[in-house]
Amino acid sequence: MLRCRLRDAGRRHHDGGPRLGDGVTLTDEQRVDWLRLIRSENIGPRTFRELVNHFGGARAALDALPALARRGGAARPGRICPPDEAAAELKAARALGVQFVALGEPDYPLRLQMIDDAPPLLAVRGNRAVLARPLVAIVGSRNASAAGAKFAQSLARQLGEAGFGIVSGLARGIDAAAHHASLASGTVAVLAGGHQKLYPPEHAELAEAILEQGVTLSEMPLAWEPRARDFPRRNRLISGLSLGVVIVEAARRSGSLITARLAGEQGREVFAVPGNPLDPRAEGTNGLLKQGATLVTAAADVIAVLEPIMGRSIELPPAREPEPRAPPEAEPGDDERARIVGLLGPTPTSIDDLVRLSQSSPAVVRTVLLELEIAGRLERHGGALVSLL
């Protein structure tokens, strides 16, 4: 996993200036560039990071995109977000009381910063102080049982009183119960769509109430209508923000289990509330318990596990010297590019294997992958695996 700090064009434009990840804030100009880059086609959080590291900043990466896409064999050039569109989004956000917090800025949630695919920009609305608190997620079935909702409420209230911010997904059922019970202490609703497209719509009032002591938070454009696939993507933020995730009720193949899996991959604690084996809403949670999740029947069970972790300072990845810009010899030749592309297929392959089999340098392989990605031809999986689309 690549967990290097981002450096930005800022370093190039303002020689000797502070680097990102050191707790300094972006300039307005940089923020527009960051927003343009992450809103451009085929650019996800990982590609964003690769590009900024490779080119030394968002502006330089934007400038390089057309050439990269062409070399990656794009059928048509990917859409690059124009400056006025980004500026308009920033303006609309301000009007709505939404602030964009950039990876590495002091307000960016520290634990979220640790994940592989942390969003470069988080659109945050409300009382941001909650994000500095120790956070714990409570998630579960949309069609929760009365007992499940009641339990989620009592757990959220008690953990809130114990000083935790409660993270959830604003969904019906368990999520809503967890938010409701932690309105006073502070709660974080992570949205799958944009701030202007709350889902489900009937939770608009709940979302407003959350802003008093907590926040709503999204990585998507303000007007983004959430699609089915945005929910699992969103779930990585729920777990990534939190010290641990409590799954209250979950059927066999539910979104909550995706959150649990992501939590495990991110090294977060996974908690599950047991249920009667004949209750289909307990199938998922009982399954998690069999796999080693911590059994929760009371807030104390969660606190007992998280308290020792809270005390510990967050393990920041070792500070690295920023990688130098790829030297000229790292630019792949056409043969080399063709050889690397030839090694790829629909089956996920590790980048290490590509380096070994292509006999190219890691820098060259990385460049070719970046080109393919920007051309919309590459999919990145977890564990440094890639496949051709």
Q: Are 137 and 112 in contact (CB under 8 A)?
A: no
- Tell me: does residue 283 bind a copy of itself (CB under 8 A): yes
- Please identify, using beta-carbon distances, which residue of 127 and 294 lies nearer to a copy of itself: 294
Strand arrangement, sheet containing 385-388: 349-350, 385-388, 378-381
Using CB atoms within 10 A of its CB, is residue 387 exposed (0-12), middle (13-18) or buried (19+)?
Answer: middle
Does 300 engage in binding with a copy of itself (CB under 8 A)?
no
Q: Which stretch binds a copy of itself (CB under 8 A): 195-203, 208-216, 268-276, 328-336?
A: 268-276
Min separation Cβ 270 and a copy of itself, Å: 15
Q: Is 275 in the site for a copy of itself (CB under 8 A)?
A: yes
How is residue 79 annotated by DSSP? P
Residues written for the chain: 389
Q: Which amino acid is at 249?
A: E
| Contact pattern for a copy of itself over residues 124 through 163, marking x by CB under 8 A | -----------------------xx-xx------------
Please name the amino acid found at residue 8: D
Residues 375 and 72: beta-carbon distance below 8 Å: yes
Tokens of 357: 């089999």
Could you give the count of Cα atoms lying within 13 Å of 98 in the half-sphere of its Cβ? Answer: 24
Instruction: Rank residues 166 and 191 by Cβ distance to a copy of itself and give the closer one.
Output: 166
- Among the candidate windows 8-16, 217-225, 227-235, 272-280, which touches a copy of itself by CB under 8 A? 272-280
DSSP run (H or E) holding 189 = strand 187-190
Choose one: 66-74, 278-286, 357-365, 373-381; the region binding a copy of itself (CB under 8 A).
278-286
Told to check if 301 binds a copy of itself by CB under 8 A, we report yes
Q: Report, in Å, the least distance between residue 291 CB and a copy of itself.
A: 10
Residues at the interface with a copy of itself (CB under 8 A): 147-148, 150-151, 273-279, 282-283, 286, 289-290, 295-298, 301
